[in-house]
Amino acid sequence: MNGVHDMGGMHGLGPIEAPADEPLFHAPWEARVLALTLAVAAWGRWTLDASRHQRELIPGPDYLAMTYYEKWLTGLIALMTRSGLVTAEEMESGRPAPGLAKAAPPLTAERVPAVIASGGPTTRQGPAPHRFRVGDTVRARNINPTGHTRLPRYARGHVGVVERDHGAHVLPDTNAHGLGECPERLYGVRFSARDLWGEEARAGDSVHLDLWDRYLDPA
């Protein structure tokens, strides 16, 4: 979707504020939101791609005004209510629905180190034909899906060169919407800064994107 989250190449969003002594969390609630998001995800009711898309669905003006963990909190609540893990009534009252048996959390403290250490690899075995080889010239397709995609707007229509073949990876465009992993070849593509941004960009500069097979046409 062409949301404000797809902000690569925009001007006017303010100066970078990078204090030298920034704490890891600005307030304890941020740490709790991080932990809640990871712990509830262990129920397996949604994918990482779906959680990214849920944050993209935050209305643009709100998205730009929110801090990172505010977006995470908003996304988490939406995912939990959509998936039925909690109901709107429970969110309102702050208490579990009457008569409900207490569940057993899938992520216990003992399992945390192993779960973090294993992560969630997105490479997949099996046939994933590659239409492109390292060295090929490709054009990022001009697509404007209303759902989730990881092809940034600034690259669409531009020509680049395949530099790496990362193998088959889960496709976010389908996986975010419960339409399956549909693994496709993922390529590292180099775009020259001048091709993307025009003559004012420096000649030797480049931008590198990892793009799925369906994002690309031969050029």
Partner 1 sequence: MPHDADHHHHHDHDHGQEPPSDIALRVKALESLLVDKGLVDPAALDAIIDTYEHKVGPRNGARVVARAWTDPDYRERLLSDATAAIAELGFGGRQGEHMVAVENTPTRHNLVVCTLCSCYPWTVLGLPPAWYKASPYRSRAVIDPHGVLAEFGLTLADDVDVSVWDSTAEIRYLVVPERPAGSEGLGEDDLAALVTRDSMIGVAKLAPLAR
Q: Report the site for partner 1 in 6-65 (rule: CB under 8 A).
A: 6-11, 13-18, 22-24, 26-29, 31-36, 38-40, 43, 52, 55, 64
Q: Is 82 a residue that touches partner 1 (CB under 8 A)?
A: no
* For partner 1, the closer CB: 131 or 188: 188
Of positions 2, 60, 68, 219, contacts partner 1 by CB under 8 A: 68
**Contact between 83 and partner 1 per CB under 8 A:** no
Could you tell me the smallest distance in angstroms from the CB atom of residue 133 to partner 1? 18
Select 83 or 139, whichever has its Cβ closest to partner 1.
83
Binding residues for partner 1 restricted to 94-123, rule: CB under 8 A: 94-96, 100, 102-105, 107-109, 111-113, 115-123
197 scored as a contact of partner 1 (CB under 8 A): yes
Q: How far apart are CA 96 and CA 211, in angstroms?
A: 43
Q: Helices 28-41 and 48-56 sit at what angle, rounded to 10 degrees?
A: 130
Residues 130-149, interacting with partner 1 (CB under 8 A): none
Integer CA distances (angstroms), 157 to 8, 163, 209, in order: 15, 18, 14
- Least Cα distance to 210 among 193, 194, 186, 174 occurs for 186
Least spacing, CB of residue 110 vs partner 1, in Å: 8
Determine the size of the site formed for partner 1 (CB under 8 A): 90
Min CB(206)–partner 1 separation in Å? 5
For position 154 contacting partner 1 by CB under 8 A, the verdict is yes
d(CA 76, CA 38): 10
